[in-house]
Amino acid sequence: MSTIRVGHLYPDYLNIYADRGNIAVLARRAAWRGHDLAVTAIDLADLIRPGGHDLYYIGGGQDREQLLVAGNLAAKAEPLHEAVAGGAAMLAVCGGYQLLGRGYRGFHGEEMPGVGLLPLETVAGTRRMIGDVLIECELDLGVRRSVAGFENHAGRTVLDPGAQPLGRVLAGFGNDGESGFEGCRSGRVIGTYLHGPLLPRNPWLADWLLAQALAHRTGGEPTELEPLPDELETRAHEVSAGRARSRGGRF
Ligand code: GLN
């Protein structure tokens, strides 16, 4: 059994909409399979040591909090790229997702540098995109699964041509309310606007991330984790998906 090492970036700054709940889900689901999750905070003064974490996590925040960490995060870009090139996985939610791109221009025109791990750019618009979202993803070839969550962002994220979205919007706004794309994926790095938090109602995605992190930890290929009953989780997903569908139409 393994210890999965999670580096939680700026937990005191980027933590809205219970995004910390994602860590709790990863910890429980790892423990149910006999693995430990060792979570360390990576704060402003901390250095990234490539190879030192199997999974990085960064949550959402308001423009104000993003502004406080953006320069510091951009200064960590090199070791983060090295860590990801070495096979570490990453999950970034909303404000954190925006900062994984090339940059984010906030609502008041603040220019925030990004890490450049995902091929995208974000500019805040005047209308906030708020509500339940349902998307369809294909992270493993030929396996389509849905992800349900809640979005609340002014940022409009545009993916570079050819970039891979996390999924296609079935209901809700997604990246920009126009493209029909939600989130972005590059190898083991996932960025998404979905809060709620994301993982309690989308347990398959938690397991996908754990499998990638375990593969980094053990040096092998990701293997599917032993299934769990997930009755409550499935119900939570259905309620959330139903709320998104009742918004009507596609983005
Ligand atoms: N400040 C960003 C926006 O409004 C992100 C908000 C969030 O993390 N919910 O687009």
Q: Within the chain, how many helices (H) and strands (E) appear? A: 6, 12
Question: How would you classify the pairing of strands 89-93 and 189-192?
Answer: parallel
Q: Please indicate whether residue 184 is annotated as part of the active site.
A: no
Please say if the pLDDT value at position 251 is more than 70: no
Choice among 8, 94, 137, 237 that is catalytic: 94
Report the C-alpha gap between 73 and 46 in whole angstroms. Answer: 10
Q: Distance of CA 229 to CAs 40, 59, 181, 213, 233, Å?
A: 29, 27, 30, 22, 9
Please report the atom of ligand 1 found closest to the CA of residue 61: 8
Report the C-alpha gap between 148 and 134 in whole angstroms. Answer: 5
When the pLDDT of each residue in the chain is averaged and rounded to a whole number, the result is 96
Which phi and psi (to 5°) does residue 163 adopt? -70, 150
Task: Tell me the CA–centroid distance for residue 15 and ligand 1, in Å.
Answer: 11
Record the pTM. Answer: 0.97
- CA nearest neighbour of 160 among 114, 115, 102: 102
153 lines ligand 1 (CB under 6 A): yes
Kindly indicate the confidence band of residue 17, based on its pLDDT and cuts at 50, 70 and 90: confident
Q: For the chain, state the CA radius of gyration.
A: 17
